[in-house]
Amino acid sequence: MFSEMVVNYSNMVEVFILVEEPFVMVSENVLGKPKKYQGFSIDVLEALATYLGFKYEIYVAPDHKYGSPQDDGSWNGLIGELVFKRADIGISALTITPDRENVVDFTTRYMDYSVGVLLRKAEKTVDMFACLAPFDLSLWACIAGTVLLVGLLVYLLNWLNPPRLQMGSMTSTTLYNSMWFVYGSFVQQGGEVPYTTLATRLMMGAWWLFALIVISSYTANLAAFLTITRIENSIQSLQDLSRQTDIPYGTVLDSAVYEHVRVKGMNPFERDSMYSQMWRMINRSNGSENNVMESTAGIQKVKYGNYAFVWDAAVLEYVAINDADCSFYTVGNTVADRGYGIALQHGSPYRDVFSQRSTQGGD
């Protein structure tokens, strides 16, 4: 039995991990006690250990990488620890890829994997000049100019043909009063100067009709502006991300996601136009311009800058849900063409029993 083989094994099973929420997380460390790990992958490992009866020790991959082939043919990261026989098991948000399967053994997938994008939500801002938004600046300038022009014309008409005032009236038809009368009628507040001449009344009748149309249009536009939600996320899919050029995006350099985009974008047998466009952005300046070395750096780059982070959809969804500021949202590809698995040394006799228990779950 596999459980007997593990119990009688001379050394503790060495498990190498990589911290990646929510698969592997560091629990709160009590002073003087060793670190403890938790998360979805740790739960799977614990269930396997309990059922199969083995003990294990956890180590973190020294270079904090999942593993990719190097120029000399060797591997780095967690996969490299398995290749060089320094680890018995590798577990985390570890995706099953053809290149990795050539050097290590994987269990069957215990969870589907898909590529997602982490973006920052548009910020809600309070604009003290929002009341001016319904009209363009040029239109406001034209309205102001029209008020001055009509006020001047009213003053000239009254200067050429002064109105007859009642006995004891002290109202003066000055330029200031004319301007104030025109402005007051425009904002539907009336005026103080009685203009009784026919020419002035015809002028003011036309002006009131103009003011009615402008005020009605302004009120309708302002109501629409204030009631319609202004926060619109223009990127709703990977296709939207690949087509736009305003937001730079990238992933973790030399990761499975990086390799996934490269293969889909460059391999003539799997080429996809969407991934081709994404690869041109991600590979800009040989990948050093938009990519990061760790996923945590990519998440921070999204939070504090104009950036979109392409990474495992499950990880990004967890980050977005648990963000204290609720500043993230995610989009992704619903097609899961890969999965997460547990990696073992190449030729390991324990692959089948691990596969059986990891897919069924622990007791």
Amino acid at 116: G
Residues in the chain, total: 363
Q: How far apart are CA 67 and CA 80, in angstroms?
A: 6
* pLDDT reading at 2 higher than 50: no
Q: Which among 162, 115, 135 has a CA at the least distance from the CA of 275?
A: 115
Cα–Cα distances in angstroms (integers) from residue 169 to residues 79, 139, 173, 194, 206, in the given order: 98, 38, 12, 10, 27
SS3 310: strand
- Of 200 and 229, the structure prediction assigns the larger pLDDT to 200
pLDDT per residue as tens digits for the range 102-150 = 999 998 888 888 888 999 887 666 567 777 878 888 888 998 888 888 8
Q: Buried b / exposed e across 327-360, counting CB within 10 Å, b at 16+?
A: ebbbbbeeeeebbbbbbbbeebebbebbbebbee
Binding residues: 95, 100, 312
Segment (H or E) for 13: strand 13-17
Please give the pLDDT value at position 83.
92
Mean pLDDT estimate for the chain: 80
Q: Which among 328, 294, 358, 266 has a CA at the least distance from the CA of 120?
A: 328
ω into 69 cis (within 30 of 0): no
SS3 161: coil
Q: How far apart are CA 13 and CA 16, in angstroms?
A: 10
Binding residues for L-glutamate: 95, 100, 312
- Are 134 and 158 in contact, with CB atoms under 8 Å apart? no
Amino acid at 284: R
Among 32-46, 55-69, 281-295, the range of highest mean pLDDT? 55-69
> What does the pLDDT average to over 232-248?
79
Report the interhelical angle of 40-52 vs 351-360 (nearest 10°): 120
Q: Which among 182, 186, 214 has a CA at the least distance from the CA of 195?
A: 182
The token duo for 33 is 């006690």
What is the reported pTM? 0.60
Please give the pLDDT value at position 228.
57
- Are 318 and 71 in contact, with CB atoms under 8 Å apart? no
Please give the pLDDT value at position 81.
92
SS3 217: helix
| Dihedral of alpha carbons 174, 178, 184, 190, sign | positive
| Dihedral of alpha carbons 187, 190, 194, 199, sign | positive
> Above pLDDT 90, what percent of the chain?
11
Cα–Cα distances in angstroms (integers) from residue 121 to residues 304, 327, 329, in the given order: 11, 5, 6
- Are 273 and 280 in contact, with CB atoms under 8 Å apart? no
* pLDDT reading at 324 higher than 80: yes
- Between strands 111-113 and 338-340, the pairing is antiparallel
Q: Which among 57, 69, 47, 61 has a CA at the least distance from the CA of 19?
A: 61
DSSP letter, residue 188: T
Q: Tokens 């990004």 correspond to what residue?
A: 316
Domains along the chain with CATH numbers: 2-113+339-360 (3.40.190.10), 118-124+231-335 (3.40.190.10), 130-227 (1.10.287.70)
Neighbours of 233 (CB within 10 A): 12
Q: Tokens 């929002």 correspond to what residue?
A: 130
Amino acid at 85: K
> What does the pLDDT average to over 27-38?
68
Please give the pLDDT value at position 190.
67
Largest CA distance in the chain: 120
* pLDDT reading at 229 higher than 50: no
DSSP letter, residue 75: B
Among 103-107, 166-170, 270-274, the range of highest mean pLDDT? 103-107
Q: Which among 170, 90, 40 has a CA at the least distance from the CA of 351?
A: 90
